[in-house]
Chains A and B, each alone.
Chain A
């Protein structure tokens, strides 16, 4: 069974610091990787995707992928209270569809 594992948290980070969120996946053939942010009671919002090994930066967010270790991470620099949410890691086995396998999410709290 294909699995995506995340530490459920909560992860508490001081405002202005770097938040580091981690995810591992079991399907070695996975092709695309996503990070979603979900505020309490709301639907998930796509914030980053990555397909290739290495780093991908978008503003304060950096996604990191290591296919050999089957590991994906999300770094949030200069953390803000508005970053407090649950972060969902999602994995897709191939390109061309969006049949995602999600982790259970990591709850992040930014402390002012």
Chain B
């Protein structure tokens, strides 16, 4: 069966510090991978998606970037965090139209 791992679970970072969130998927090959963000009181917003190694599409302009160095690894990064980057970050993998989420990282920028 497929599993998705995302870490860390919680993170508190000062404004201006860098960010790296990692996500890995097991039990499937060549999955579509996604980063979503859920801000307080708002719906999930798609940030990035990837259909293969090195292939990244950005859905919204922002302070973040994503990379996919391996087939089942997806990384979300920032060089300098803003207060507005706070939120619940969710990695997801998908196949045949269905998306499955990792446990999420709750990021608080202070």
Contact = CB atoms under 8 A, between A and B. Distances in A.
Contacts of A45: 101
Contacts of B97: 32, 49, 92, 95-98
B27 interface: no
A98 B98 contact: yes
Interface string B86-110: 0000101010011111111010000
A104 B90 contact: no
A97 B43 contact: no
Nearest to B45: A102
A43 B44 CA distance: 11
A45 to B, nearest CB: 8
Contacts of B99: 34, 46, 90, 98, 100
A4 B43 contact: yes
How would you classify the secondary structure of chain A's contact residues: helix, strand, loop or mixed? loop
A44 interface: yes
A42 B94 CA distance: 19
Contacts of A90: 44, 99
A99 B92 CA distance: 10
A99 B46 contact: yes
A98 B92 contact: yes
Contacts of B103: 42-43
Contact of B46 (A4, A43, A95, A100): A100
Contacts of A88: 43-44
A44 B88 CA distance: 11
A85 B101 CA distance: 16
Given A43-B104, A98-B97, A99-B49, A105 B43 contact: yes
B43 A103 contact: yes
B74 interface: no
Shortest beta-carbon contacts, A-B, top 7: A98-B94, A98-B99, A102-B43, A102-B44, A43-B101, A104-B43, A43-B104
